[in-house]
Amino acid sequence: MKPTQVLDYFNARRDSTVAMIREIVEIESPSYDVERSRLVALWIENEARKLSLDLEIEKIPEKKFGDHIIIRAFSKREGKILILGHTDTVHPVGTKILNPTRIEDGKFFGCGIFDMKSGIVLMLEALRFFAETGIEPSRSLTILLSCDEEVGSFTGRELVEREAADSDVSFVLEPSAAGRVKTGRKGTGMFTLKTHGVPAHAGLEPERGASAVLEVAQQIQKLHSLNNIAAGTTVNVCTIRGGTTTNVIPEHAECTVDVRFSSMDEASRIEAAVLDLNSFDERVSIEITGGINRPPMERTAAVAGLFEKARSIGASFDYEVGETQVGGASDGNFIAALGVPLLDGLGIAGDGAHRLDEHILIDDIAKRAALITLMLMS
């Protein structure tokens, strides 16, 4: 089948695809909402079962998060392609009142539509294409949708790593960057720094106190001095809290630290420096928790090769595919760390991830579906 015919197929299905996206977006499913996570997994399972394909569907329940779901197709084919995504969103239930699911001027708005419910529908649409045309993908397909990606993949990580380990290649349908796929992502670390001081009356005997707030303020400056933008490393204190009341030298304070890095060397440098922090005032003790969470996804030769393939497949039906490297991490970072080549950010073009103007572009739906399906075939 010619690439333009694959595009025709998805163009003809556009209204049905839009209807499916609308349905899955309407099932709001924030991380930690077990019931809604199960509902969305059930919706996906039902949609997959409507296809006349031999599928193995497995749901993995997690007490705190809901259901991870794995769909396997064409299991008899040699080799394996892992198609990755997540069902959780960052928007609390009810947020859809603030960003109603709707189409305006070619933009399809909705909570979690870009990150990444429309990506899930693309996966189902690719399966439908194979079911209806009788064409088969080049390898067996495993779709893995985790339910705790937005909060750090505490339970999903193990599954991602297990499924990636024997994969030849992986496609991650996370949001694109204005249509560009992601060939590099920074790694992430999260720390919490708590200080414990000595309380005292701020008017009567302040000298007997040792301020936990002052200590945190000094530590913040030290933390920010670890930034090295040229090396791709950023360290930012993003929340701060402390004090008891207005006339007491503060006994407690704390801050959280967001760390991003492009190489593991930088990750080690920052981790060592953070864990090595000493208090400025010896009467104040400091306590540090957290660590490196996701390793960086580097643009290796294999990743560059995959991108080149995507670019030329896109060109075969006049669709321009660009690439970019970003600071945000995804589960793709775990896959990259195993040495499995991957393309990330393969989702439909759009904008506003984690925001109230979140949307995808209607015009890009069929093109993206065609690109992914052709990638699976080649």
Binding site for Zn ion (CB under 5 A): 115-116, 174
Tell me whether residue 13 or residue 359 sits nearer to Zn ion (CB atom).
359
Candidates 47, 50, 55, 87; CA nearest to 71 is: 55
Judged by CB, which is closer to Zn ion: 13, or 368? 368
State which residue, 176 or 195, has the beta carbon closest to Zn ion.
Answer: 176
What is the H or E stretch that residue 136 is in? none
- Strand-pair partners of 257: 191, 237
What's the closest the beta carbon of residue 345 comes to Zn ion, in angstroms? 10
Report the candidate in 107, 125, 118 with the shortest Cα–Cα distance to residue 174: 118
Q: By Cβ distance, which residue is nearest to Zn ion?
A: 115
Tokens for 86, please give them: 């997540």
Least distance to Zn ion from the beta carbon of 118, Å? 11
Name the pairing type of β-strands 55-62 and 102-104.
unpaired
Which residue number, 113 or 303, has a Cβ lying nearer to Zn ion? 113
- Identify whether the C-beta of residue 270 lies closer than 8 Å to the C-beta of residue 235: yes
**Minimal distance in Å, beta carbon 149 to Zn ion?**
6
Provide, rounded to whole angstroms, the least separation between the CB of residue 259 and Zn ion: 20
Q: Of 318, 31, 251, 250, give the one whose Cα is nearest residue 146.
A: 31
Report how far residue 150's alpha carbon sits from residue 128's, in angstroms, rounded to the nearest whole number.
Answer: 28
Report, in Å, the least distance between residue 337 CB and Zn ion. 18
Strands 323-326 and 66-73: unpaired
Judged by beta carbon, residue 113 or residue 212, the one nearer Zn ion is 113
Output the smallest distance, CB 37 to Zn ion, in A.
Answer: 14
Nearer to Zn ion, 175 or 250 (CB): 175
Angle of the 14-26 helix axis to the 365-377 helix axis, nearest 10: 100
The tokens for 168 are 């030849």
